[in-house]
Amino acid sequence: MELRAPRGTSDIFSRQAGLRRHLEETAVELFGWYGYHPITTPIFERTELFTRSIGESTDIVQKEMYTFRDKSGRSLTLRPEGTAPVVRAFLEHKLVSQPLPIKLYYSGPMFRYERPQAGRSREFWQLGVEAIGSMNPAIDAETVSLMMHYLETLGLRDLELLLNSMGCSRCCPSFVKVLRAYLEEHQANLCTDCKRRVQLNPLRIFDCKKERCRGLLKEAPLITDYLCVDCKAHFAEVQSLLMSVGVEFKLEPSLVRGFDYYTKTAFEVRSPHLGAQNALGGGGRYDGLIEEFGGPPTPAIGFALGVERVILALHREGIDLPGDSTLDVFLAVVGKESKPEGFKLLDKLRKLGIATDMDYGDRSLKAQMKLADRMGALYTLFVGSEELEKGMCKIRDMKSGEQVEVAFEKIPRWLKKQIGSRKGKK
């Protein structure tokens, strides 16, 4: 048996884990400023939750879900996205009785059986928000603005925001009818999947990546030409509000997100540094989804960002973010007789919040210095018989090579000051 992670998954170590933690911590702080609260949902749900919400005709349901039966024969699916589980939790726990809108954010792994490539894995992490209970265009503008605020806070600048309206249950069917008629006229030029989509849901043809199908869509009818009066007014106000707070966007009438539940506002953010897989994330309204699952008519909107794609965009823009935790101090203990005092100092520094480590392999002093360097320590403290006898500890700045002597009782205060000064400059 070859011990390897399954294709499309990866182990996350050290710096990558630190980057993810930084992205999540930034989200927790920023989303909190907008009034969002955390929610955690199960990694697997009943399969029907996704087939009914995402849509039977979508590629996700047709080709990409990880579905299995448990020992009781129930069909379960590893979550491919985060919105449907939040909606299920909203209904199950009767959150509709609370003051609306309810604002929730989540973070965690999702699963889709896709062809692994840069920025696309079979297990991938998403950060997302859901604002449930308001039809006001201001909540649309706020949601889009929050997504852009978050990405810009991380340092991303080369971003393109695309905006569209999917219409509502009154006007979208008229567009679908006209689109289907257009596609039926050109059915011979469609790929096999799109021929099936024409009858199931013509909107899903906008998901197709094949050139011959995308070429046909250049002359296809546009949803924006079929919006009802209410949807036009709603979309116009969303645009006006975004412009009022300086959020730049491009109208893209062919933007159709990959889930059937979207209504009215739909949006996507892209990075030119990611090649073909250039979408960092996106979202939209899903005003009919809660009612579809038996709840009262409840408008909602949300977005999700792909963590791996955000990290990839940061790398390609040359943005350096905090990675794994920096080691403040390495304790180089010389001689067995010095170990008890060295261990006591190690414990004391850690309890004062100073990240400290030492050698546990009886290495020579030279080898310990190499280890301290590899571990990225800011300072190395030398604890040996000479230092203990004098009551003075040698401390080396690992960057400059400068070395000072500090009395043992003054070490914590000295380190706190020096480390605080160095980290404050970053």
Helix (H) / strand (E) containing 302? strand 300-306
Predicted confidence band at 275 (pLDDT cuts at 50, 70, 90)? confident
In angstroms, what CA-CA distances link 362 with 272, 317, 352? 51, 43, 26
Among 27-31, 82-86, 313-317, whose mean pLDDT is lowest? 313-317
Tell me the helices (H) and strands (E) count for the chain, helix number first: 15, 16
pLDDT in tens, 124-155: 999 999 999 999 999 999 999 999 999 999 99
Predicted confidence band at 5 (pLDDT cuts at 50, 70, 90)? very high
**Position 53: which residue type?**
S
The mean pLDDT value of the chain amounts to 92
| Backbone φ and ψ of 76, nearest 5° | -125, 155
pTM of the model: 0.86
**117 DSSP assignment:** B
Alpha-carbon span 377 to 372, nearest angstrom: 6
CB-CB contact of 290 with 191 (8 Å):
no
pLDDT in tens, 33-90: 999 999 999 999 999 999 999 888 788 898 899 999 999 999 999 999 999 999 999 9
Rg of the chain taking only CA atoms, in angstroms: 27
Tokens for 167, please give them: 């219409």
Output the DSSP codes for 119-135. Answer: TB-SEEEEEEEEEES--
- Tell me what pLDDT residue 83 has: 96
Alpha-carbon span 192 to 260, nearest angstrom: 20
Tokens for 90, please give them: 């909203």
> Within 13 Å of residue 119, how many CA atoms lie on the same side as its CB?
21
Q: Is the pLDDT of residue 107 over 50?
A: yes
Find the length of the chain.
Answer: 426
Alpha-carbon span 169 to 256, nearest angstrom: 15
pLDDT in tens, 192-224: 888 888 888 888 888 788 888 888 888 889 888
- Tell me what pLDDT residue 160 has: 97
Q: Is the pLDDT of residue 169 over 60?
A: yes
- Tell me what pLDDT residue 277 has: 78
Domains of the chain, by residue range, sit at 14-171+227-316, 329-419
Q: Is the pLDDT of residue 180 over 50?
A: yes
Q: Is the pLDDT of residue 108 over 90?
A: yes
- The reply to whether domains 14-171+227-316 and 329-419 share a CATH topology is no
CB-CB contact of 291 with 283 (8 Å):
no
- To which residue do tokens 């749900």 refer? 45
Tokens for 149, please give them: 């605020």
Helix (H) / strand (E) containing 144? helix 137-154
CB-CB contact of 284 with 260 (8 Å):
no
Task: Provide, rounded to the nearest whole percent, the portion of the chain with pLDDT above 70.
Answer: 98
- To which residue do tokens 């360097």 refer? 373
SS3 state of residue 279: strand
CATH fold of 329-419 = Rossmann fold (3.40.50)
Among 103-112, 129-138, 186-195, whose mean pLDDT is lowest? 186-195
Q: Is the pLDDT of residue 425 over 50?
A: no
pLDDT in tens, 249-273: 999 998 887 677 889 999 999 999 9
Predicted confidence band at 426 (pLDDT cuts at 50, 70, 90)? very low
Report the pLDDT averaged over residues 359-380.
93
pLDDT in tens, 333-365: 999 899 999 999 999 999 999 999 999 988 999
**319 DSSP assignment:** -
Q: Is 296 left (phi over 0), alpha (psi -120 to 50) or beta?
A: beta
Output the DSSP codes for 43-101. Answer: SEEEHHHHHHHH-TTSHIIIII--EEE-TT--EEEE-S-SHHHHHHHHHHTTGGGSSS-
- Tell me what pLDDT residue 424 has: 64
CATH number of the domain located at residue range(s) 14-171+227-316 in this protein: 3.30.930.10
Considering only CA atoms, which of 233, 226, 186, 183 is closest in space to residue 203?
183
